[in-house]
Amino acid sequence: MSNITIKDIAQYAGVSKATVSRVLNHPQAVDDKTRAIVQKVIKEKNYRPSVTARNLSKRKSSTVGVILPKVDNVFFGEVLRGMIHVADKNELTVMCFNSDDSKKKDLQTLEIIEDHRVRGLIYVPAVPYEKKEERKALNKHLKALDAPVVIMDRDIGLPVDGVFFDDSKSMYNATKYVIDAGHTKIAIINGTQERVLARQRQEGFSRALEEAGITVPEEYIMLDDYSIQSAYRMTKNMMKLPVQPTVVITCNNDTTKGFLEAIYEGGKSIPKDYQNVSLDKLEMLNILGIPYSYIERDAYQMGKKAMEQLINRIAFPDKSYRHIIIESPFIKQSL
């Protein structure tokens, strides 16, 4: 029978809707005879209760919310794949949202997730929420979820579980290796410094230069929005400089793509004209056999760890908060 409701089951069984609900959600609270009658009707009528209705009655859900900043970025695609791998094993459903790195969309998405009464949330904040009113608004939304939260990738100082890479350390190690290989003309394509990860990466880069006593021209420090388009534009401007860098460090896979597009369009290449150190592996370069060095961040592992941490928090809500730092080794294929 199609479209059968809990009201229909109650009528067929000769009980109230509340009794049917108790049989579905708290069967131990119903006497054996009544429970058997209701369960027999449910089986005969092939009734499957609405997941939403059961969630509302239990105030729980089998759904986990995920907010990512750029779902079209291959890095976050791998993160999501890792999450789903763990969620599937635990019979959880993943509901993913894209914030487009927009504060407005970030907060709107949190409002939407509130209405779904998710079991928990894995969250990559679009912005740092450093202003007092911004942080107050964020905290209000997170509290309204009434569910565990795991922050991932961008540590903005919330008192919750988290999974991160140490981008400052990774960038320091990569830059130091470049310097030890004899390079002093080193450029960087990074994000603007209101971004948490951009600050961390710039700090590691600058610290390695300072320790080596190296000063690079201001024009070698190229900061924008981490997009392919901005990296392409800044690289084109860099190529006009009278003294060219020998190494360009690119701080995510989109900036690497923009950098490569610009230099190849200009008749240049790696490693012949520039050495490239990329944050994250670019699979196509490996396929083409083009040597480059990169900081390897295991996005799939990050997604798995974040989902495992959320499930652990759901099971043990009173445990102390924990931050997991995943190692990101420097893979040397050039220089």
Tens of pLDDT, residue by residue over 8-43, are 899 999 999 889 888 887 788 889 999 999 999 999
Name the least confident of 49-58, 258-267, 268-277: 49-58
Write out the residue range of the structural domain in which residue 25 sits.
6-58
**240 and 304, same structural domain?**
no
**268 and 174, same structural domain?**
yes
pLDDT tier for residue 51 given thresholds of 50, 70 and 90: low
Name the domain count of the chain. Answer: 3
The pTM of this model reads: 0.80
- Mean pLDDT score across all residues of the chain: 93
**94 and 189, same structural domain?**
no
Name the least confident of 30-39, 52-61, 144-153, 225-234: 52-61
* Mean predicted confidence (pLDDT) in 127-138: 95
% of residues, the chain, pLDDT over 70: 96
**262 and 231, same structural domain?**
yes
pLDDT score, position 56: 47
Name the least confident of 22-36, 44-58, 137-151, 247-261: 44-58
pLDDT score, position 58: 55
Name the least confident of 29-38, 124-133, 185-194: 29-38
Name the least confident of 80-94, 250-264, 282-296, 317-331: 282-296
% of residues, the chain, pLDDT over 90: 80
pLDDT tier for residue 57 given thresholds of 50, 70 and 90: low
294-320 pLDDT tens trace: 999 999 999 999 999 999 999 999 999
* Mean predicted confidence (pLDDT) in 127-143: 95
pLDDT score, position 191: 97
Whether residue 334 lies inside any domain: the answer is no
Highest averaged pLDDT of the listed ranges 10-24, 202-216, 281-295: 202-216
Look up the CATH number of the domain holding residue 46. Answer: 1.10.260.40
**174 and 96, same structural domain?**
no
3-state secondary structure the chain: CCCCCHHHHHHHHCCCHHHHHHHHHCHHHCCHHHHHHHHHHHHHCCCCCCHHHHHHHHCCCCEEEEEECCCCCHHHHHHHHHHHHHHHHCCCEEEEEECCCCHHHHHHHHHHHHHHCCCEEEECCCCCCCCHHHHHHHHHHHHHHCCCEEEECCCCCCCCEEEEECHHHHHHHHHHHHHHCCCCCEEEEEECCCCHHHHHHHHHHHHHHHHHCCCCCHHHEEEECCCHHHHHHHHHHHCCCCCCCCEEEECCHHHHHHHHHHHHHCCCCCCCCCEEEEECCCHHHHHHCCCCEEECCCHHHHHHHHHHHHHHHHHCCCCCCCEEEECCCEECCCC
Whether residue 1 lies inside any domain: the answer is no
Residue 3 pLDDT > 90: no
Residue 263 pLDDT > 80: yes
Whether residue 111 lies inside any domain: the answer is yes
Whether residue 335 lies inside any domain: the answer is no
The domain boundary residue, chosen from 58, 84, 100: 58
pLDDT score, position 55: 52
Look up the CATH number of the domain holding residue 101. Answer: 3.40.50.2300
pLDDT tier for residue 324 given thresholds of 50, 70 and 90: very high
